[in-house]
Amino acid sequence: MKINPRGPSDGELTFVSGSPGKTDRQLTLDELADTRDRYLPYVLSMFNRREVLELAYSARSLENARKARDDLFGDQNNRKRYDGYLAGLLDPQIWSQLKTSEQKLRGAMARDRKLKSANAAYDRIKNAQAQIAKIAPLYNNLEMERPRYTAYREPRAFVSNLFKYARMLLRAVDERAKPDCERLPEFRDSARDSLELELFSTEPIYDDYEILRLTDSLTDFASRFGADDPMVKKALAGKSPHARAVELVTGTKLKDVAARKELYGKDASALQAAHDPMLDLARLVDGPAREARKLHDAQEEIKKQAYAEIAKARFAIEGISVYPDATFTLRLSYGTVRGYEQDRKQIPAFTDFAGLYQRAAEHDNKPPFDLPQRWIDKKANLNLATKFNFVSDADIIGGNSGSPVVNKENEFVGIIFDGNIQSLVLDAIYTDTQARAVSVDSAAIIEALRHVYSAQPLVDELLSAK
C-alpha cells in the first residue's frame, strides 16, 4: 500500500479497515432506558469513587503514583467511556432516532403475519431486565462481571488482587470436581491456560495499596447495605473496614505465587483446612455470590433468546441493508474528514504540530501534556504547520485502534487511535452529528520520522515505489 505523505484533505472520503470490538445497536429501548437510568449512573459512581481514591493516594508520593498508575488509568478511561455513553443516551435527538428505529421495525413485524409473534420478545426482554435490576445490588457487590471478560469477576465489595486470587482458587478447586460441561465457563478445560496465567501472575502486591483499596470497597459495601446487614456483618467479622482489611491483607499467604500453586493442586477439603483468612472470606460470600449470578445469568439467557427472535425478524424485513453488531471480526467502514460543532464553536478537522507545542506550554509541560525531551530539542527542525491528527465521521468503536485509514486511491493516510467523547454513543447508534474517529495523519508520521527521529532511510523506504 502506497503512503501519501501529505495525508487527507478536509472533506475527503476515507476508508477504515479493522476488527471493531463490540456494539449493542440491537438493544431494545427498554434495555437502553435501564442502561441510561440505572446501570450507567451506577458504574460512573463506582469509577468516580475509585478515581478519587487513587488520585489522593498517588498525590502522597511518586512511589504511590507508580503503584496506582495502571488502576488509575483504567478507571479514568472507563469513567470517560461511560460518561460519554450516558451523555449520548441523554441526548433527545439521539433518543428520538432510537425510538423511531424501533417503532419502524415493530410496525413492520406487526404487519407481517409470519413475524407478528416476534413482537412479544420485546416484553420478555423488558421483564428480564426488570429482574436483573432487582438482583443488581447483590450481584454487583458480590459477583459483577468485569467490562472485559477474564477468569475473574470483580465484586464491588472486595476490590483486592488478593481476594481475586482467593476466589479463583476456591472456585477452580470446586469446579474441577464437576464434569467439564457443567462448570462455570471460565473454569472449563478450554480456559485453563488463561486461568493459570492470571492466577500465577508475578505482578507485585503492595500491602499498603491493597489495604487502601479493600478498606474503601468494604466501606462502600457497608454504606450501601447498612452496617447491620447480615452479609456486611459477616464480611467485617466485628471489625471496622480498615481493621478488617489490615487483618486480611497481612494475614494471607496468597501473596506468594508458590503458595497459590500449592493450594491450586489441592482438593476442596484440603483447601478448606488451609484456613487462610482471604480464602475464608471468599468462601463466606461464595454461596450468595453464586446464587446472585445464577439468577442474573438466567435472565440474560431469556434476553439472549428473545434478541435472537428479533434478529431473525429484522433480517427478514431489512435483509442486508443493516449490518450486524461489531464482534471483533473484520469489517470495512468509511467516513468523510470533517470537523464538528461543540458548545457553539466549530472544531476543525485537523490539529497541527504548532498546537502540540502550544498545548504543552499552556500546561507548563506537565503530565499528561508533557513532551519528551527529544521533541523539545527538535522543535526548530519541524514544519509546525504539518497536520498532526484529523477527525472523520467513520463508524468505529473500541477495537478499531490501529486501523489503517486509506483514501479512494488506496493510499495510506493515517491510523485510527481514538474517538472523541461524543463517539462513545456509537455503541448504541451511529450518528455523524458530533461523533468522530480520531487518526494520526500520515503527514505527521513522515515529518516526525524525518526531523524528530532522524530516520530518513526508513522514510525513503516507506515512500519508495519498490
Task: Please report where in the chains the cell 437502553 appears, as a residue.
Answer: 32
Task: State the pLDDT at residue 152.
Answer: 59
DSSP H stretches of helix in 252-276? 257-264, 268-273
User: pLDDT band at 365, cuts 50/70/90?
Assistant: very high
Same domain, 297 and 156: yes
Would you tell me how many other CB atoms lie within 10 Å of the CB of residue 364?
A: 8
Same domain, 350 and 284: no
Residue 5 lies in a domain: no
Task: State the pLDDT at residue 322.
Answer: 82
Same domain, 238 and 342: no
Domain boundary among 304, 334, 363: 304
Give the percent of the chain with pLDDT over 90: 93
- Give SS3 for 194: helix
pLDDT at 12 over 80: yes
Average pLDDT over residues 318-344: 92
Residue 123 lies in a domain: no
Average pLDDT over residues 40-58: 96
Residue 120 lies in a domain: no
Same domain, 458 and 360: yes
Residue 30 lies in a domain: no
User: pLDDT band at 298, cuts 50/70/90?
Assistant: very high
User: Do 286 and 171 touch, CB atoms closer than 8 A?
Assistant: yes
User: Do 161 and 201 touch, CB atoms closer than 8 A?
Assistant: no
Task: State the pLDDT at residue 146.
Answer: 56
8-state DSSP, 163: H
pLDDT in tens, 406-421: 999 999 999 999 999 9
404 forms beta bridges with: 415
Same domain, 173 and 291: yes
Amino acid making up residue 383: N
pLDDT at 206 over 60: yes
User: pLDDT band at 25, cuts 50/70/90?
Assistant: very high
pLDDT at 465 over 70: no
Task: State the pLDDT at residue 151.
Answer: 47
Average pLDDT over residues 384-393: 98
- Give SS3 for 409: coil
Whole-prediction pTM value?
Answer: 0.90
8-state DSSP, 3: B
What is the average pLDDT score of the chain?
Answer: 95
Of the candidates 392, 396, 384, the residue with the CA atom closest to the CA atom of residue 349: 392
Q: Is 197 exposed, middle or buried (0-12, 13-18, 19+ CB in 10 A)?
A: exposed
407, HSE (Cβ side, Cα atoms, 13 Å):
18
Task: State the pLDDT at residue 144.
Answer: 86
Same domain, 156 and 287: yes
Domain boundary among 304, 335, 367: 304
Is the Cα dihedral 176, 152, 427, 91 positive or negative? positive
Residue 241 lies in a domain: yes
Is the Cα dihedral 137, 43, 151, 243 positive or negative? negative
User: Do 424 and 79 touch, CB atoms closer than 8 A?
Assistant: no
- Give SS3 for 390: strand
Range of the domain at 297: 131-304
Q: Is 182 exposed, middle or buried (0-12, 13-18, 19+ CB in 10 A)?
A: exposed
Domain boundary among 242, 270, 304: 304
pLDDT in tens, 130-164: 999 999 999 999 998 754 434 457 899 999 999 99
Task: Please report where in the chains the cell 473496614 appears, as a residue.
Answer: 241
Write the CATH number for 443.
2.40.10.10
User: Do 144 and 293 touch, CB atoms closer than 8 A?
Assistant: no
Same domain, 298 and 338: no
> For residue 399, is it left (φ>0), alpha (ψ between -120 and 50) or beta?
left
Give the percent of the chain with pLDDT over 70: 98
Q: Is 173 exposed, middle or buried (0-12, 13-18, 19+ CB in 10 A)?
A: buried
Average pLDDT over residues 77-105: 95
Residue 292 lies in a domain: yes
Task: State the pLDDT at residue 321.
Answer: 86
Average pLDDT over residues 354-380: 96
User: Do 271 and 279 touch, CB atoms closer than 8 A?
Assistant: yes
Same domain, 298 and 343: no
Question: Structural domain tally of the chain?
Answer: 2
Which triple of cell numbers denotes residue 425?
A: 454513543
Amino acid making up residue 165: Y
Task: State the pLDDT at residue 150.
Answer: 44
Residue 254 lies in a domain: yes
Same domain, 282 and 140: yes
Rg of the chain on CA atoms, in Å: 26
Same domain, 293 and 331: no
Helix 161-176 with 241-251: angle, nearest 10 deg: 60
pLDDT at 443 over 80: yes
Least reliable range by pLDDT among 136-140, 150-154, 289-293, 427-431:
150-154
pLDDT in tens, 95-107: 999 999 999 999 9
Q: Rounded to whole angstroms, how far apart are CA atoms 328 and 438?
A: 19
Average pLDDT over residues 392-405: 95
User: pLDDT band at 444, cuts 50/70/90?
Assistant: very high
Residue 43 lies in a domain: no
Same domain, 346 and 276: no
Same domain, 289 and 360: no
